[in-house]
Amino acid sequence: MKYMVIYERGPASWGAYVPDLPGVISVGDSRAEVERLIEEAIQLHLEGMREEGLPIPAPASFAGEVDVHAVA
């Protein structure tokens, strides 16, 4: 199963979150670190849901781009 992850670069760190899994977030000093940490966070979250007998949500989010033309 693949979930969409949003990565954001801040002034001094990187952040990541999973729209289909509310509360699953991570922060790291580099993109590589935050990618590793968010993967761990997803796995732990899903394990917890399974242990509690909760349904695992199917991935539903997707990423897209919007072409915005500069206003002169």
Encode pLDDT of 6-58 as tens digits: 999 999 999 999 999 999 999 999 999 999 999 999 999 999 999 999 999 99
Q: Is residue 72 part of a domain?
A: no
Retrieve residue 46's tokens. 């899903």
Cα dihedral 21, 25, 30, 36 sign:
negative
Q: Is residue 36 part of a domain?
A: yes
Provide the number of structural domains found in the chain. 1
Q: Is residue 37 part of a domain?
A: yes
Structural domain range at position 31: 6-51
Window from 1-5, 13-17, 51-55, 68-72 with minimum mean pLDDT: 68-72
Q: Is residue 67 part of a domain?
A: no
Enter the pTM of the model.
0.87
- Cα(5)–Cα(21) distance, integer angstroms: 10
pLDDT of res. 70:
73
Q: What is the biggest distance separating any 2 CA atoms in the chain, rounded to whole angstroms? A: 56
